[in-house]
Amino acid sequence: MPITQSAKKAWRQNIRRRAQNLRKKEAYKKAVKELRKLIGAKKLEEAKAYLAKTYQALDKAAKTGVIKKNKAGRLKSRLTQLIAKSSKASS
């Protein structure tokens, strides 16, 4: 348990930031999982529409430091390639 005033404040900040980070992390993971599910189910039009929401969740997570910028870019690139590959295969 923190004793000094500054340690108590740091503890409160840590709790608040951890909750925010977990919300952002869960949001981007849920978005990626949902997009992969749509691609797997061959719902490519819905997947293309959902791609923007996934990008948004990844960018927010990267902006606040939940994940690194390059990881967000890598995930966005791989998801876009997956959609392109699936749409090419179905055509």
pLDDT, one tens digit per residue, over 54-77 is: 999 999 999 999 999 999 999 999
pLDDT greater than 80 at residue 45: yes
Q: What is the mean pLDDT of residues 45-53?
A: 93
pTM (predicted TM-score):
0.86
Return the structure tokens found at 5.
Answer: 């005033």
Q: How confident is the model at residue 91 (pLDDT cuts 50, 70, 90)?
A: low
DSSP labels for the chain? Answer: ---SHHHHHHHHHHHHHHHHHHHHHHHHHHHHHHHHHHHHTT-HHHHHHHHHHHHHHHHHHHHTTSS-HHHHHHHHHHHHHHHHHHHHHH-
